[in-house]
Chains A and B, each alone.
Chain A
């Protein structure tokens, strides 16, 4: 497993908030003073702008239009990479600097879908949701250009996040596959239709994309399935989608799930083949006297020995966890798993909901907490 690595290496999980200068630059707007300060502060720390001097210079001179939005996104990707690396993460990506969200973009790379409009999530927040109205077909593999950029520039090991087939299916309306079911579209018809949809997404869209990414040199891939916990009785579909998407492919795959009752997904989820790591959220539930890591006992009970991407920082709170708290969380996880060598540490989920300053300090705390825990395990009597 991770015998050759030091204990508790750190990794990111997904998105970072886009810096203000990136958003303004992409819209070819001149940078306001806040954006300018944000840029120069981070550039002072990591000198990311010095690596793409013409783009940085044009951006700061209010000439972003001349270099184009893609060059600004390159800067954004480099900014995130260097931020992660400076924080001390072993596995890094670009903070999803080129992505707007994790559903619409992949769906728009496929055929067979129709967008109808927005659905309310809560209050005045909405999301777009498409119907699958024909068989799923991939237009072309996606995330390749962003991965190529990361591969060329990363000093850490790149780890690419990609939305999984179950989540794409769950966040879509199933029209085409349901229509093929005979009779009244009750529960059993819906389930059969959803299985067909998930497997088609996995085989026809996700797998070819993963294969192309691997061809481009991608070795570590995180398949995001945040919808996995929405319908615990469909855990078998999550597994079927994962297995179909990764069939015959050689890479280090992990599965990211968050805000779910993991016990409800077990032991079915353990049927996921080729999944080397579970990257799950825990810190969010580790409060008010509740041990958020106790659920790891279930993995031990089922004899699962895969790596854990251990969420040790809550991405929905600004309060930055102390390194001591993070070390304590690692210690508890190690006890429940019975093997510290299986633990990677990370935020619960993507940090896009936190300010860049909070995100940076949380990542630094994670790395510091991991170092504390590492020292304890290296010298248990200390």
Chain B
């Protein structure tokens, strides 16, 4: 059993960064002073990820105001729109408004990646919005159909992956909560498959995975199993693991084992029991273990406690598995 672990979404901001950014908003701190706190905290998160032996290092994506903002602010065709609730949470994103077919600006997103991901790209992780979720949550005034927009975003993300993979970046995660919240059907589902085919073709052997959360993935599995990616991830707090279907094709399976909706730390014994049972039933090529949703739904301290479970679970699985990773 191959088990890999890593963060699958943004990490929370610690209290000093909360204070610094509040002070910035109130004119009590300079941008330079806040920048220092950001850099220090990114280094802290990356150090934690390395210490725990996580397989890809993200640096926490602490500067990303929401999953879309770097794109809405740097790619062409967008403006930044109103505050909008992020699924069934008490957090919000600014809805991108697409006025014309989008166009990417080379190099723009690379500049948004945390230093930890850029400095050691072989172990760096790019956490990106999935084309279906991006297309579905923006305000589309471009005149493109939803299907055409998913196709187009797939090609743009493929170009992004090509550019970043050329720098040595080895892991790309596409966050797709909308795939399970509102599973696509018909032509739209085909557009999603095509979008990920474009991304796969551009990935040059890098690990690509799609991470779903916030709703049960069971109904979406027929589609998820068609996506040409290294693995698809599901939120185990929402998805009944006993209903995850077997598949004839061997592929990776991601399991969101940390629930960011509660500070209660999960039981490693329960996690290993579930992983082993799924290994028997589904025989995935590898397991990716991560948080079931964005850990920044928690404050820093409980999130830090929880993330230790990733290392503990992997260790427990290896101990019962001849130490093989």
Contact = CB atoms under 8 A, between A and B. Distances in A.
Interface of A: 116-124, 126-127, 129, 131, 170-171, 173-175, 178-179, 183-187, 190, 227, 230-231, 259
Given A121-B92, A122-B92, A122-B93, A173 B270 contact: no
A131 B261 CA distance: 10
A121 B299 contact: no
B12 interface: yes
B216 A187 contact: yes
23 contacts: A116-B263, A117-B301, A119-B90, A119-B91, A120-B12, A120-B13, A121-B92, A122-B65, A124-B21, A124-B22, A129-B299, A131-B302, A173-B261, A173-B302, A174-B264, A175-B262, A184-B241, A185-B262, A185-B266, A186-B236, A186-B237, A186-B238, A187-B237
B88 A231 contact: yes
B22 A185 contact: no
Contacts of B237: 185-187, 190
Interface string B287-304: 000000000111111100
B66 interface: yes
A184 to B, nearest CB: 5
Given A126-B18, A185-B262, A185-B264, A120 B274 contact: no
B96 to A, nearest CB: 14
A334 to B, nearest CB: 30
B15 interface: yes
Contacts of A127: 90
How many chain B residues sit at the interface, stated as a range, is: 35 or more
Nearest to B264: A175
- When A and B form their complex, which 6 residue pairs have the shortest distance between CB atoms, in order from nearest? A117-B299, A124-B21, A122-B92, A131-B263, A116-B299, A173-B263
A119 B300 CA distance: 8
Contacts of B261: 173, 190
Nearest to A187: B238
Contacts of B18: 117-118, 120, 126
Interface in B9-30: 12-15, 18, 21-22, 24-25
A187 B263 contact: no
Contact of B90 (A116, A117, A124, A230): A230
B19 to A, nearest CB: 9
B83 interface: yes
B8 to A, nearest CB: 17
Given A117-B301, A131-B263, A178-B262, 8 more contacts: A122-B92, A124-B22, A131-B302, A173-B263, A184-B241, A186-B236, A186-B238, A187-B240
A119 B297 contact: yes
A114 B256 CA distance: 25
A175 B263 contact: yes
Contacts of B266: 185
Nearest to B296: A120
B151 interface: no
A119 B298 contact: yes
Q: Which of B18, B241, B263, B297 has the most CB of A within 10 A?
A: B263
B236 A124 contact: no
A120 to B, nearest CB: 6
